[in-house]
Structure 1
Amino acid sequence: MNVEMEALLRNQTWNVVDLPANRKPIGCKWVYKIKYKANGEIERYKARLVAKGYNQREGLDFGETFSPVVKMVTVRCILSLAVQNGWMLYQLDVNNAFLYGSITEDVYMTLPEGYYSKNDNKVCKLVKSLYGLKQAPRKWNEKLTNVLCDVGFV
């Protein structure tokens, strides 16, 4: 949980603010997972803070949610081309990928449990996307597309 919170704070995912009178914050929850090695031994314990996006209201907390999705037939086609042409293939895994997308909507979330006082009347005003938000996949795709275009991809 501490590693996840450090990543969220380092990435400046939110600002702690007073909740505007006419708004209701969405909740958040901790999701835990045990990662295992191939031999069955425990590799590590993982915790992720997830927004309760199912409480978001369209037009208020989010707008467009569409994000392109690659089809497996396309992946197989690219792999076939790479093999036929002797191309090198590289794989990339982005840690906390959804945290890199910036959001433009005003989304307010309750403070993460265990890290703030329960008596605190503040909320998190999200600046960056968070897992669980309806717009998270779209915002990550926008960020990735912009970065790839900035470095010369077409």
Structure 2
Amino acid sequence: MDPKRKMKVDGLINNYKAILVIQGFRQKEGTDFFDTYAPIARISTIRLMLALAAIHNLVIRQMDVKTAFLNGDLDDKIYIKQPEGFVMPGNEHNVYKLKKSLYGLKKAPKQWHQKFDDVVLSNGFALNQADK
């Protein structure tokens, strides 16, 4: 957990904000995950997209979605320990079952990309066979 303080204009603490991150370094390949995943576009594809944008006078924008991995659906059961500082008294040995992938989970990028592909393809787009 990484607690951060959200401040009011007058400098007083408005509320606390925390980010739950999975300790991916504890996952074992072959048991917890079978491969890692990092989608990367080929440089020729990037050049083609830039050329098409220049020819058609299009605007190119970059976007970063901080919560993208929360949109990935998990295909198996994953449990995590209660985060430090948020342990329920009397239930110290209980664990949480994840419903969505979280940042730090080794399979989170692949799960998110699969969900992205499913949504994009269901809206009429097609895979580029040269650079999937």
8 Å Cα contact 1:32-1:48 kept in structure 2? yes
Secondary structure at the aligned position of 1:81 is classed as helix
Q: What's the CA shift for 1:83?
A: 0.8
Partner of 2:77: 106
State the alpha-carbon separation in 2 of the partners of residues 52 and 143 from structure 1.
23
1:141 paired with 2:110, answer no
Structure 1, unpaired ranges of 5+ = 1-29, 35-44
Counterpart code for 1:79: L
Partner of 1:153: 125
1:1-154 aligned at under 5 Å gives the runs: 30-31=1-2, 47-72=18-43, 74-117=45-88, 119-120=90-91, 121-154=93-126
For residues 33-86 of structure 1, give each alpha carbon's deviation from its aligned partner in whole angstroms, at most 9, with x where no partner exists: 89xxxxxxxxxx974211001111233322333342224553343122211122
Point out the structure with max Rg over C-alpha.
2
State TM-score, norm by structure 2.
Answer: 0.70
Structure 2, unpaired ranges of 5+ = 6-15, 127-132
State the alpha-carbon separation in 2 of the partners of residues 144 and 96 from structure 1.
13
**Measured at CA, do residues 54 and 135 of structure 1 come closer, stay the same or move farther in structure 2, by a change above 3 Å?**
same
Q: CA RMSD in A?
A: 2.7
Comparing 104-113 and 68-77, the one that deviates more: 68-77
Partner of 1:26: none
8 Å Cα contact 1:60-1:105 kept in structure 2? no
Higher normalized contact order (CA 8 Å, seq sep 6+, divided by chain length): 1
Counterpart code for 2:103: Y
**Measured at CA, do residues 153 and 106 of structure 1 come closer, stay the same or move farther in structure 2, by a change above 3 Å?**
same
State the alpha-carbon separation in 1 of the partners of residues 44 and 4 from structure 2.
31
Q: What percent identity do the matched residue pairs reach?
A: 41
Counterpart code for 2:83: P
State TM-score, norm by structure 1.
Answer: 0.61
